[in-house]
Amino acid sequence: MSFLRPRVQQKLDGLVARHHELLAQLADPKVLERPDRLGPLQRELGQATPIVQRYQEYGRTVRQIEEHRGLLEGADRELAELAREELPALTQTAQQLAETLVDLLLAEQGDDRRDCIVEIRAGTGGEEAALFARDLCTLYQRFAARRGWSVEPMHSTPADQGGLKEVVFALRGASVFAAMQFESGGHRVQRVPATETKGRVHTSAATVAVLPEVEEVEVQIDEKDLQVDTFRSSGAGGQHVNKTESAVRITHLPTGTVVACQEERSQLKNRQRAMALLRARIYEAQRAAVAAARAAERKEQVGSGDRSDRIRTYNFPQDRVTDHRLNRNFALSQVLEGKLETIVEALQFADRERRIEDL
């Protein structure tokens, strides 16, 4: 008997076999003499061990259930009654372990555990779109505060009336990308702008891109492929922003990708943050290419994360947020306070089902 889907169990059996291989390789003296091989093997073993241990616990629980069911049909009525009393709790434990194993597998295969970089850009709607981009930035910062994440500003371009044409920041904490990945896409707002004298409702838009942050070793970038320019920062900062060329703009020549960072007073720190953003964009482009290829094989664009898609509408007159992927409405006032948990959990559940099929 099993509480796991056949696809999941097959994946776990393969991971157990790989775990045995890793243990054997790490016991090989020849491997121990090669740090270049030892490090990656140890990391892989460290990632696999918690899943294998939980799978072993699941296996022991399933065997207990089978033994208890056997006792139900035995001649000893007293043992049969004890088995009957214990079976519900054992069954519940096995089901919980099965769900945990699925989550562990998915987390290991995807980018869920990564930090992320969020890019928000004003779209159609002029100054009102820039104000909406600022509101989205505030919304995500409030959500981050609720989750205990840290916010690291990277770059921003202010608009004339206090809005933001563009803003980029990093979020760091526990399972940041797992929660934020579903924010990528087109966001639309319907409300009466402050400049509207006749009380008419306008529709504006902004786009959000959420990029998983990657380590330097994961994305190799040749310095010869970079064009680095410095310029004076804009925005808050007093005399410093007017006199010091601390802002950094980096162009990746092979792909034409351009990133900038101006939030730090130090040119070195701005360069480091700009490089982090560049790595994230290149990694995301590679990830999107793989996703598109897999989707083409399935002949359907499942979970493509296409940022041109309209994913959500914020309707101020009706105090309503509509998530078009879920086809559900939520209270706008709650969402603006950063209370995104209900939306995120619903999207995570739908995504989880899809990813199980892709295991």
Residue 303 is assigned to a structural domain of this protein: no
Which of 109, 130, 149 finishes a domain?
Answer: 109
Identify which of 106, 120, 111 has the alpha carbon closest to the alpha carbon of residue 283.
111
Domain residues for 39?
6-109
- What pLDDT is recorded for position 251? 94
Which of 109, 143, 163 finishes a domain?
Answer: 109
Residue 171 is assigned to a structural domain of this protein: yes
pLDDT, tens only, 30-83:
888 888 888 889 988 998 999 999 999 999 999 999 999 999 988 889 999 999
Residues 37 and 178 occupy one common structural domain? no
Residues 161 and 266 occupy one common structural domain? yes
Residue 101 is assigned to a structural domain of this protein: yes
Residues 232 and 155 occupy one common structural domain? yes
Residue 1 is assigned to a structural domain of this protein: no
Residues 131 and 221 occupy one common structural domain? yes
**Opening angle at CA 266, ends 260 and 268, nearest 5:** 70
CB 336 within 8 A of CB 330: no
Residue 203 is assigned to a structural domain of this protein: yes
Residues 89 and 123 occupy one common structural domain? no
Which stretches of the chain drop beneath a pLDDT of 50? 236-242, 297-308
Residues 335 and 230 occupy one common structural domain? yes
Q: Would you give the distance in Å from CA 328 to the centre of its chain? A: 22
Residue 112 DSSP SS3: coil
- What pLDDT is recorded for position 347? 94
Residue 286 is assigned to a structural domain of this protein: yes
Tell me the whole-structure pTM to 2 decimals: 0.70
Residues 44 and 159 occupy one common structural domain? no
Residues 65 and 121 occupy one common structural domain? no
- What pLDDT is recorded for position 132? 96
Residue 230 is assigned to a structural domain of this protein: yes
- What pLDDT is recorded for position 295? 56
Residues 12 and 136 occupy one common structural domain? no
Residues 320 and 178 occupy one common structural domain? yes
Q: What is the CATH number of the domain that holds 208?
A: 3.30.70.1660
Residue 188 DSSP SS3: strand
Alpha carbon distances (Å) from 270 to 215, 232, 296 = 17, 12, 39
Residues 123 and 138 occupy one common structural domain? yes
Beta strands in 40-122 (DSSP E): 116-122
pLDDT, tens only, 162-171:
999 999 999 9
Residues 69 and 182 occupy one common structural domain? no
Which of 109, 128, 157 finishes a domain?
Answer: 109
Question: Count of domains in the chain?
Answer: 2
Q: What is the CATH number of the domain that holds 52?
A: 1.20.58
Residue 59 is assigned to a structural domain of this protein: yes
**Opening angle at CA 320, ends 315 and 348, nearest 5:** 115
Identify which of 180, 159, 158, 56 has the alpha carbon closest to the alpha carbon of residue 111.
180
